[in-house]
Amino acid sequence: MADLDSQLAEIRAELSSGLATINRRLDKIERTTKRTEQTVRNVEDAVSWQTLINDAILCGVCLVLAFGAKSADVVKQDLCPELPGWAKHAVPFNFCGNGGKADSNAAQAATPTEDVKLKAFLDAIAWAEGTSSEAGYKIQFTGAQFSNFGDHPRQILCSGRLCSDAAGRYQFLSTTWDGYAQRLGLKDFSPESQDRAAAEILKQNGIPAMLAEGRIEDAFCKIGPVWASMPCNDYGQPQKAASALVAKYNEALQKYQAIAHTSTSNEGWINPAPGATFTSGFGYRVHPLKQYRSCHYGIDLAGPTGTPILAAKGGLVEEAGWNNGGFGNLVILKHDDGSQTLYAHNSELKVSAGQRVSQGDVIALMGSTGNSTGPHIHFEMDLGQGKVDPRPHIPGISGNQTFGKIDPQATQTECRGRAL
């Protein structure tokens, strides 16, 4: 008991010291932009200093208990949209309440995430927060993972002097989550629910309109007070550069726009280059450069240099690099069903060997590297028994063959069964 009293005394001492820091930061904020001054006024209306101190002392008990549990070693900034940086760092704990509280003028309907620009923006946020992997929706404050999407895990984890129960792809505090869950009628903490709540935060900050106007960098700056990994905040934690965020946004946007213009076949494949023109088919033909007859073990789809090349299915990157056999910049994917696909002649590669990709991820940009007559993708498929003509399996292939007339009879005898 004496040890507990001692630790609480230390906490109170830290709080007293923290108040002086708060006052200094408040003075600084009052000399900054009108937007920051408005944020401070909102906080002053919503939070009294006495409540702030009382909440922090109560959370000190949580810290003492947490010190007895296993600590993790990754520190991340808590999400607390209602409080500016000086209030977040007044004490070394998370005591933010009423996250996502609806105002009287706010629309009650959930913000849709079908908008490709909004989805791309959310992807960029997840990248900045370190939660862009497949497991991102399960990641907690320290990098640990929870297993049940039934509700926010509400597990306080500590690293050093910071403790938090932030969780999910967008690192929601439980108090913040509860406000948005009530507002939007969310019944669980599933990926879909997390996306809807995050999209609502973006809507409250006017992000959709900024994206529509092309003010991408400004949009990332606008949400700086919400996510510490964004630019334009003073939380003192590592921030992603605005230029890097814009690049991630544009990459994700290309992916979603391309997917929007293709469909999925009955076998679950999508077109790796939606909108590209079919120029050469699978089979025995005269090679357009070498001028001798040989098997063309894939199809060619032509388009502008830099056209996004998509993963036709999700899987593992088996190979990504330069190929000396004529394919230039090459990507080979191994899919979960054992099939393989090959993507050749790319101008730039976006993946590395050993990386897992999802269907529709941008894995490369179209180019004309290696033995090539112009920008296109050479695409091959092996469904487990050797290379096959991709056209019966891939939707949305349009155009007429312009390179090398295919000999159907020779194709049957010369071009069957070769493994990828």
Amino acid code (one letter) for 312: A
Where in 297-410 does DSSP place strands (E)?
299-302, 308-310, 315-323, 328-335, 340-346, 348-349, 356-357, 362-365, 376-382, 387-388
HSE-CB for 259 with a 13 A CA cutoff:
23
CATH topology of domain 2-254: Lysozyme (1.10.530)
User: What pLDDT is attached to residue 128?
Assistant: 95
Tell me the Cα Rg of the chain.
27
Amino acid code (one letter) for 113: T
- C-alpha span between 146 and 143 (Å, rounded): 10
- Parallel/antiparallel/unpaired status of strands 293-296 and 299-302: unpaired
Question: Using one digit for the tens of pLDDT, what is the confidence trace for 342-397?
Answer: 999 999 999 999 999 989 889 999 999 999 989 999 999 999 989 999 999 998 88
Identify the CATH class of 277-414.
mainly beta
pLDDT in tens, the chain (420 residues): 667 777 767 777 676 666 666 666 666 565 555 454 454 455 444 444 444 444 454 445 444 434 443 333 333 333 343 333 323 333 333 333 334 433 333 333 334 445 889 999 999 999 999 999 889 999 999 999 999 999 999 999 998 888 999 999 999 999 999 999 999 999 999 999 999 999 999 999 999 999 999 999 999 999 999 998 999 999 888 899 999 999 999 988 888 877 776 777 778 899 999 888 999 889 887 766 666 678 889 999 999 999 999 999 999 999 999 999 999 999 999 999 999 999 999 999 999 999 999 898 899 999 999 999 899 999 999 999 899 999 999 988 877 766 667 777 777 777 777 787
Among 298, 317, 400, which residue's Cα sits nearest to residue 364? 317
How many separate helices (H) and strands (E) can be counted in the chain? 11, 15
Do the Cβ atoms of 81 and 201 come closer than 8 Å?
Answer: yes
Q: Is the pTM of this model over 0.75?
A: no
Burial 28-44 (b: 16+ CB within 10 A, else e): ebeeeeeebeebbeebe
Q: At residue 382, what are phi and psi to the nearest 5 degrees?
A: -130, 110
- C-alpha span between 292 and 290 (Å, rounded): 6
User: What pLDDT is attached to residue 186?
Assistant: 96
Amino acid code (one letter) for 394: I
Q: Could you state, in order of their start, the residue ranges of all structural domains in the chain?
A: 2-254, 277-414
User: What pLDDT is attached to residue 201?
Assistant: 96
Among 308, 312, 290, which residue's Cα sits nearest to residue 380? 312
Q: Which residues does the annotation mark as catalytic?
A: 129
- 158 sits in which H/E element: strand 157-159
